[in-house]
């Protein structure tokens, strides 16, 4: 029996690989001679660096960069074994969690630190980037990142514009002559599940601005400034298209990547599954195991476990999912490719107790063991007949 495991992190409890190893432990208790492989799983958001670095035996690095409010922060990123591929989460340099609630103001927050992290990885020899851009605190259209990479965003007097979205109101010219030369050798796979355009009623300012601290007037101003920015960008790059889906991701960071770098915006799950080559393992598997902290209706709308299930369905493999909890809406997961799912809780408990890593490990291992004891019994019965 061959089982392939790819479980998303159970946030606050188990990492992707920890969850996978717990499930493997349970399977091997039930079927001692089973061939079990554990693969990292993430959706391009929080935990992606950790999952890919640990799962692919990469190395973890830290860059001291400018945080969203200008204070220094330590931004972790990974380099994969090819020594050319860097994995970053923009939230590590410019994430909303780095800004106290009372200081959230997209007029002031900058993506400069992300550019510094990219630059740090370039200096280490990386030319290929996987970047998750969820969870941003910014709405500067990626202007800060571009400045860190050597682009000149200047006002009418020829001075660099200040950081944050408010800097765009003074933008008069974009120059590329002094951009980091190595950038021309780099390619970017941007994990992005957002389809919003840069500007307008569905743009980044209107849709995501409020959660970053923007009021109605700020939203109107930022939208106008971003439209002006896009117009200037179109004068120097034929790829500038403020209406393209995803350009509004991360406060316009999607626009900056698509306009000024060799970048593609892709589903985060798709990127992770392709980079880890899990389909090759699924092709020869008997069973595929996936899961996450909570299975619900949102899971069925394309989250990481459904990405795994879709690959398994392509090769006609049965899929079992384990989760910390499930909701009534999780039934949609059955139609989306998960053949059966099981909550791992074994008794009435508090959330704090349930999320204790040791408890979660034991619960997941026990659930996997019992599921595979049944599978082994059914297979044995079938052989006897």
Range 287-312 average pLDDT: 94
Mean of the per-residue pLDDT values of the chain: 95
Residue 47 predicted with pLDDT over 80: yes
Q: Give the pLDDT confidence score for residue 12 in this predicted structure.
A: 85
Mean pLDDT, rounded, for 123-140: 96
Q: Say how far apart CA 51 and CA 17 lie, in whole Å.
A: 7
**What would the pLDDT profile of 155-208 be if each residue is shown by its tens digit?**
999 999 999 999 999 999 999 999 999 999 999 999 998 899 999 999 999 999
86-101 mean pLDDT: 96
Q: Is the pLDDT assigned to residue 381 strictly greater than 90? A: no
How would you classify residue 41: left for phi > 0, otherwise alpha for psi between -120 and 50, otherwise beta? beta
pLDDT given for residue 193 in this prediction = 86
Band the pLDDT of 92: cuts 50, 70, 90: very high
Environment class of residue 134 by beta-carbon count within 10 Å: exposed (0-12), middle (13-18) or buried (19+)? buried
Q: Is the pLDDT of residue 379 over 90?
A: no
The percent of residues above 70 in pLDDT, for the chain, comes to: 99
In angstroms, how far is the first alpha carbon of the chain from the final one? 19
Q: How confident is the model at residue 132 (pLDDT cuts 50, 70, 90)?
A: very high
30 token code pair:
């039930």
Distance CA(8)–CA(51), nearest Å, equals 9
Question: How does pLDDT run across 333-373, given as a tens digit for each residue?
Answer: 999 999 999 999 988 889 899 899 999 999 999 999 999 99
Alpha-carbon distance of 291 to 336, in angstroms, equals 13
Coil, strand, or helix at residue 137? coil
pLDDT digits (tens, 9 = 90+) for 305-342: 999 999 999 999 999 999 999 999 999 999 999 999 99
Q: Looking at residue 46, what is its pLDDT?
A: 83
**Contacts of 296 by beta carbon, 8 Å cutoff, 6+ apart:** 326, 327, 329, 330
Is the torsion defined by CA of 77, 291, 351, 353 positive or negative?
A: negative
Contact 338, 308 (CB under 8 A): no
Average pLDDT over residues 58-74: 97
Report which of 72, 77, 117, 120 is spatially closest to residue 98, judged by C-alpha positions.
72
**What residues contact residue 5 under an 8 Å CB cut-off, 6+ apart?**
20, 23, 24, 27, 36, 37, 38, 39, 288, 289, 290
Share of the chain above pLDDT 90, in %: 91
**CB of 354 within 8 A of CB of 360?**
yes
């Amino acid at each position: 029996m061959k089982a392939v495991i790819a479980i998303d992190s159970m946030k606050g409890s188990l990492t992707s690989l920890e969850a996978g190893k717990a499930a493997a432990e349970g399977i091997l208790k039930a079927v001692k001679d089973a061939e079990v492989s554990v693969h990292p799983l993430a959706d391009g958001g929080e935990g992606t660096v950790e999952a890919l670095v640990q799962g692919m035996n990469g190395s973890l690095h830290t860059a001291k960069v400018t945080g969203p409010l200008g204070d220094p922060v330590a931004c972790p990123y990974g380099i994969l074994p090819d020594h050319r591929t860097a994995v970053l989460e923009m939230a590590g340099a410019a994430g909303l969690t780095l800004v106290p609630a009372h200081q959230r103001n997209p007029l002031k927050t900058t993506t400069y630190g992300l550019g510094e992290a990219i630059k740090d990885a370039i200096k280490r020899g990386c030319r290929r980037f996987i970047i998750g851009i969820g969870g941003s605190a910014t709405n500067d259209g990626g202007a800060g990142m571009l400045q860190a990479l050597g682009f000149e965003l200047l006002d009418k007097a020829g001075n660099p514009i200040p950081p944050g979205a408010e800097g765009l109101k003074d933008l008069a010219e974009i120059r590329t002559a002094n951009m980091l030369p190595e950038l021309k050798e780099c390619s970017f796979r941007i994990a992005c599940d957002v389809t919003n355009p840069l500007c307008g009623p569905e743009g980044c300012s209107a849709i995501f601005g409020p959660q970053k601290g923007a009021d109605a007037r700020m939203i109107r101003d930022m939208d106008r400034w971003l439209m002006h920015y896009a117009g200037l960008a179109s004068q120097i790059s034929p790829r500038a298209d403020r209406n393209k889906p995803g350009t509004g991701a991360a406060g316009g960071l999607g626009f900056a990547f698509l306009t000024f770098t060799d970048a593609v915006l892709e589903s985060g799950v798709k990127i992770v599954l392709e980079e880890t080559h899990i389909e090759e393992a699924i092709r020869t598997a008997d069973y595929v195991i996936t899961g996450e902290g909570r299975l619900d209706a949102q899971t069925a709308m394309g989250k990481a476990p459904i990405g795994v299930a879709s690959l398994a369905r392509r090769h006609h493999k049965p899929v079992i999912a384990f989760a910390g909890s499930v909701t009534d809406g999780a039934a949609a997961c059955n139609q989306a490719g998960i053949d059966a799912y099981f909550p791992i809780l074994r008794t009435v408990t508090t959330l704090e107790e349930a999320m204790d890593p040791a408890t979660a490990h034991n619960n997941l291992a026990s659930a996997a063991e019992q599921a595979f004891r049944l599978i082994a019994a059914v297979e044995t019965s079938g052989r006897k007949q």
